[in-house]
Amino acid sequence: MDGSESTSGSGAVPVILFAGGGTGGHISPGLAIAERVRSIHPAARLVFACSGRPIDAAMLTEAGAEFSPIRAEPFSTDPRRLARFILGLFRGRADARAVIAATKPNWIVSLGGFVTPVVAREARRAGIPVLLVNLDATPGRANRLVARRATRTVSAVAVPSIPNFAQAIIGMPIRRIALAPASKELCRAELGLDPNVPVLLITGASQGAQSLNELAVLLAGVHAERFRDWQVLHLCGGNPAGGVARYERAWRESGVRAAVVPFMHRIGIAWGAADLALSRAGASSVAEAQANQVPTVFAPYPYHKDLHQRENALPLVRVGAAALELDAIDPQKNAQGLGARVLALMACAEERYAMRKALQQMAPPDSAEQIAEFLLRGQAFRSSCARA
């Protein structure tokens, strides 16, 4: 991109439309980029074309962001869902045309998720450049489609399965709110935990993870004595089976001190409090664990046939900065693999220390600022991660 394509030359207020949604993993990186854009150009107009799912509205409202839902639906081979997908194509295209016409963006930043192909299609029809920010080591169907229309493609991580998929590998855009704001002691105190007792963080990311929740219940009931010198911060998701009260009761009856929270917008406090984490391996979760230097056992989402979340965690695992265990879904089976690995790390301060030291050698770049500089000033991207 040359300087003529940047938004800074005309003197007009820049408008950037972020397309993505359906999970917090798509929304958070967009908010991170928006933060950096705003810090460079406070008057910039930043709009999110998101999905209609409640998590999108909740996160964007909390952040004070302007947003417009796109009535697209995810692809499915199930006849009923396929019909909704086809109807969503027409509705989504109409919504995308409307928000593009209303905002007249200088750039569209595509972040992934099922709303993005229709937005990218309408953007190119309107002659608006599209920056695809791929977030996963294995690009999803939506990102593979958008890549065909994108003006420029960058990736948070290397994409081993598709050579030359991205022009630059830049690291994950991370919100400031996802970084620990203070010491472990102060973060724990703010959460109502004992400032001087180590914390195990259990998180299934923005939507929670039922299999991790069920494993937590089993560990609380069967291995309570292993938690004697620990306390737990359990982020169980917004609508867990049996409700939040079920997990609160399980920890309470086990005698383990625990705080059960459905969802935390200020996730940096949770990472800041933690000495060890059990987490899904979504790209944002992996990046946040790395940035906050928290030893983590990653459990990739088990319902994808290719288990592609593994690829997000493997760079950390290969250098001893994290552990990886497959999620067997069944709590009893998970207790033998995933649960046993967590308990072993809780008991081994030396291994946790070695993981933290490895994480310290992997300080991530501020890729959100790189993207903001590109959008506003046309600055070239600098690859800051290995491509393979």
Q: Whole-model pTM?
A: 0.82
- The pair of three-digit structure tokens given for residue 108, joined into one six-digit string: 């569209």
Is 61 in a helix, a strand, or coil? Answer: helix
By the 8 A CB rule, do 151 and 124 touch? no
- Number of domains present in the structure of the chain: 2
Print pLDDT tens along the chain (388 aa): 333 355 544 468 999 999 998 887 889 999 999 999 999 999 999 999 999 999 899 999 999 999 999 999 988 888 888 998 899 899 999 999 999 999 999 999 999 999 999 999 999 999 999 999 999 888 989 999 999 989 999 999 889 889 899 999 999 999 999 999 999 999 999 999 999 999 999 998 877 789 999 999 899 899 999 999 999 999 998 777 777 888 999 999 999 999 999 888 899 999 999 999 999 998 889 999 999 999 999 999 898 777 888 989 999 999 999 999 999 999 999 999 999 999 999 999 999 999 999 999 887 678 999 999 999 998 888 776 543 3
Q: How far apart are CA 166 and CA 161, in angstroms?
A: 12
- Consecutive H or E run containing 284: helix 283-291
Q: What is the CATH number of the domain that holds 22?
A: 3.40.50.2000
C-alpha radius of gyration, the chain, whole number: 21
- Kindly state whether residues 209 and 322 are assigned to the same domain: yes
- Kindly state whether residues 20 and 167 are assigned to the same domain: yes
pLDDT score, position 6 = 55
Domain membership of residue 387 (yes or no) is no
- Kindly state whether residues 143 and 209 are assigned to the same domain: no
- Kindly state whether residues 50 and 62 are assigned to the same domain: yes
Domain membership of residue 67 (yes or no) is yes
pLDDT score, position 387 = 37
- Kindly state whether residues 356 and 369 are assigned to the same domain: no
- Kindly state whether residues 117 and 183 are assigned to the same domain: no
pLDDT score, position 12 = 84
Backbone φ/ψ region at 313: left (φ over 0), alpha (ψ -120 to 50), beta: alpha
pLDDT in tens, 196-240: 999 999 998 877 789 999 999 899 899 999 999 999 999 998 777
- In the chain the first and final C-alpha atoms are separated, in Å, by 25
- Kindly state whether residues 284 and 223 are assigned to the same domain: yes
Q: How far apart are CA 73 and CA 66, in angstroms?
A: 21
Range of the domain at 347: 178-360
pLDDT in tens, 253-301: 999 999 999 888 899 999 999 999 999 998 889 999 999 999 999 999 8
∠ Cα 191 197 200 (to 5°): 70
Domain membership of residue 383 (yes or no) is no
Domain membership of residue 122 (yes or no) is yes
- Kindly state whether residues 96 and 147 are assigned to the same domain: yes
pLDDT score, position 11 = 60
By the 8 A CB rule, do 295 and 276 touch? yes
- Kindly state whether residues 130 and 186 are assigned to the same domain: no
